Each structure stands twice: as structure tokens, then as C-alpha cells.
Amino acid sequence: MENITTLVTLVQKDFQLDHLEAGTSLQDFREQMIVVIEELLLDNVEQLIQGAYRIDLDEEHFTTALHQQNAMAIADLIIDRETKKIALRKKYRIS
């Protein structure tokens, strides 16, 4: 649960979102992200692009998913990248 809370906090900060909830599972959060990304694709794609740049998403994968309007793929890319950041921070905090 702590990692989900950390993940939500990072995504909120990096994508300037304030309406995400930690929920009880990663799957719940993923489903929330898909809905939010679908909204951003329709209403504010620039905010989505800026957030992707901020967290250094793989440009090729992100661009492909963006052109396909694939909110699920974008959510997975974001969650994967932010999860890796959390793991790296824990690793170097313990060392």
C-alpha cells in the first residue's frame, strides 16, 4: 500500500493532477490512470506530453501510444517508469 501511495503522489506531481486516489491495489490505480489519460487525450494533450517529458518516458513507445490514442499503453508506461523511480530511490536511500 505504501508503494501505491508513493506512486500516486509521484504521478500527481509529475502530471499536475489532483484527483487521483491511492485505492487498494495497483490495478485500481491503473484503471483510474486510464480514465484520466483518456480525458487528457481529449482535452489537454499538452499536459500529458509535458508530464511524459518530465518523467522521461521512452519517447518512441510514448509517441506510438500517443498517436494510437492508446490510454492503456500510456498508463502502463507511466506506471512502469514511476515504479522504477521509486525502486531506485529506495535502493540508493538504503545504500
User: What grid cell was written down for 33?
Assistant: 490512470
For residue 50, CA distances in Å to 15, 27, 40, 69 come to 7, 24, 11, 16
Q: What is the pLDDT of residues 21-30, one digit of tens each?
A: 877 799 999 9
Interval 28-69: pLDDT, tens: 999 999 999 999 999 999 999 999 999 999 999 999 999 999
CB atoms within 10 A of CB 45: 13
User: pTM for this one?
Assistant: 0.91
Is residue 6 over pLDDT 70?
yes
